Amino acid sequence: MELSERMVASRKYANITQKELADRVGLSQTAVHKLESGASRSSRKTVAFAMACGVDPVWLATGRGEMLPHPSLGGGFNTSHTPDPRSARIHDILSQVKGLVAEMERLVAA
Protein backbone atom coordinates (compact mmCIF):
# COMPACT_ATOMS: atom_id res chain seq x y z
CA MET A 1 0.00 0.00 0.00
CA GLU A 2 1.41 3.38 -1.01
CA LEU A 3 1.62 6.43 1.28
CA SER A 4 -1.28 8.04 -0.59
CA GLU A 5 -3.48 5.01 0.08
CA ARG A 6 -2.48 4.93 3.75
CA MET A 7 -3.32 8.63 4.01
CA VAL A 8 -6.81 8.03 2.62
CA ALA A 9 -7.35 4.99 4.87
CA SER A 10 -6.23 6.98 7.92
CA ARG A 11 -8.51 9.90 7.19
CA LYS A 12 -11.47 7.62 6.52
CA TYR A 13 -10.77 5.74 9.75
CA ALA A 14 -10.90 9.07 11.59
CA ASN A 15 -14.14 9.89 9.73
CA ILE A 16 -12.99 13.39 8.78
CA THR A 17 -12.85 15.35 5.54
CA GLN A 18 -9.70 16.50 3.77
CA LYS A 19 -10.47 20.03 4.95
CA GLU A 20 -10.85 18.93 8.58
CA LEU A 21 -7.57 17.03 8.41
CA ALA A 22 -5.85 19.98 6.76
CA ASP A 23 -7.07 22.32 9.50
CA ARG A 24 -5.87 19.95 12.23
CA VAL A 25 -2.34 19.68 10.87
CA GLY A 26 -1.91 23.20 9.54
CA LEU A 27 -1.95 22.58 5.79
CA SER A 28 -4.30 23.50 2.98
CA GLN A 29 -6.98 21.13 1.75
CA THR A 30 -5.16 21.17 -1.60
CA ALA A 31 -1.98 19.87 0.06
CA VAL A 32 -3.92 17.01 1.68
CA HIS A 33 -5.57 16.22 -1.67
CA LYS A 34 -2.16 16.09 -3.38
CA LEU A 35 -0.84 13.69 -0.74
CA GLU A 36 -3.91 11.46 -1.03
CA SER A 37 -3.83 11.44 -4.83
CA GLY A 38 -0.12 10.67 -4.99
CA ALA A 39 0.76 14.01 -6.60
CA SER A 40 2.94 14.71 -3.53
CA ARG A 41 5.00 11.79 -2.31
CA SER A 42 5.96 12.85 1.19
CA SER A 43 5.19 15.28 3.94
CA ARG A 44 7.03 16.60 6.96
CA LYS A 45 3.67 16.43 8.70
CA THR A 46 3.30 12.64 8.59
CA VAL A 47 3.42 12.31 12.38
CA ALA A 48 0.87 15.10 12.75
CA PHE A 49 -1.40 13.35 10.23
CA ALA A 50 -1.11 10.10 12.18
CA MET A 51 -1.86 11.82 15.48
CA ALA A 52 -4.85 13.64 13.97
CA CYS A 53 -6.27 10.38 12.62
CA GLY A 54 -5.42 8.14 15.58
CA VAL A 55 -3.22 5.77 13.58
CA ASP A 56 0.30 4.49 14.12
CA PRO A 57 2.83 7.01 12.70
CA VAL A 58 5.29 4.26 11.70
CA TRP A 59 2.59 2.49 9.71
CA LEU A 60 1.51 5.72 8.05
CA ALA A 61 5.06 6.71 7.11
CA THR A 62 6.38 3.30 6.05
CA GLY A 63 3.53 0.83 5.74
CA ARG A 64 5.22 -1.41 8.32
CA GLY A 65 3.26 -2.76 11.25
CA GLU A 66 -0.42 -2.22 11.91
CA MET A 67 -2.57 0.79 11.13
CA LEU A 68 -3.86 1.04 14.69
CA PRO A 69 -1.51 1.42 17.66
CA HIS A 70 -1.14 -1.67 19.82
CA PRO A 71 -3.29 -1.49 22.98
CA SER A 72 -0.23 -2.26 25.13
CA LEU A 73 1.10 1.21 24.34
CA GLY A 74 -1.12 2.41 27.16
CA GLY A 75 -2.90 5.11 25.24
CA GLY A 76 0.28 6.54 23.79
CA PHE A 77 -1.68 7.51 20.70
CA ASN A 78 -4.93 9.35 20.52
CA THR A 79 -7.55 7.01 19.07
CA SER A 80 -10.61 8.95 20.17
CA HIS A 81 -10.92 10.76 16.81
CA THR A 82 -10.63 14.02 18.72
CA PRO A 83 -6.99 14.90 18.13
CA ASP A 84 -5.04 17.04 20.51
CA PRO A 85 -3.70 19.82 18.27
CA ARG A 86 -0.90 20.55 20.73
CA SER A 87 0.48 17.01 20.41
CA ALA A 88 0.45 17.19 16.63
CA ARG A 89 2.16 20.60 16.74
CA ILE A 90 4.81 19.35 19.19
CA HIS A 91 5.61 16.40 16.93
CA ASP A 92 5.81 18.72 13.94
CA ILE A 93 8.21 21.06 15.76
CA LEU A 94 10.38 18.13 16.90
CA SER A 95 10.60 16.87 13.32
CA GLN A 96 11.67 20.32 12.14
CA VAL A 97 14.28 20.60 14.90
CA LYS A 98 15.74 17.20 13.97
CA GLY A 99 16.00 18.33 10.35
CA LEU A 100 17.71 21.57 11.36
CA VAL A 101 20.20 19.74 13.59
CA ALA A 102 21.05 17.34 10.75
CA GLU A 103 21.53 20.26 8.36
CA MET A 104 23.71 22.10 10.89
CA GLU A 105 25.88 19.00 11.40
CA ARG A 106 26.23 18.61 7.64
CA LEU A 107 27.34 22.24 7.27
CA VAL A 108 29.82 22.00 10.15
CA ALA A 109 31.35 18.85 8.65
CA ALA A 110 31.75 20.48 5.23
Domain ranges of the chain: 3-109
pLDDT in tens, the chain (110 residues): 888 999 999 999 999 999 999 998 888 999 999 989 988 877 778 888 898 898 988 888 888 888 887 665 444 444 444 555 666 677 677 777 777 777 887 888 87
pLDDT of residue 98: 76
With both helix axes pointing from N to C terminus, report the angle between 3-14 and 29-37 in degrees, rounded to the nearest 10: 130
What's the topology of domain 3-109? 434 Repressor (Amino-terminal Domain) (1.10.260)
Check residue 63 and give left, alpha or beta (phi > 0: left; psi -120 to 50: alpha): left
pLDDT of residue 64: 86
Count CB atoms within 10 A of the CB of residue 48: 26
Q: Are 28 and 22 in contact, with CB atoms under 8 Å apart?
A: yes
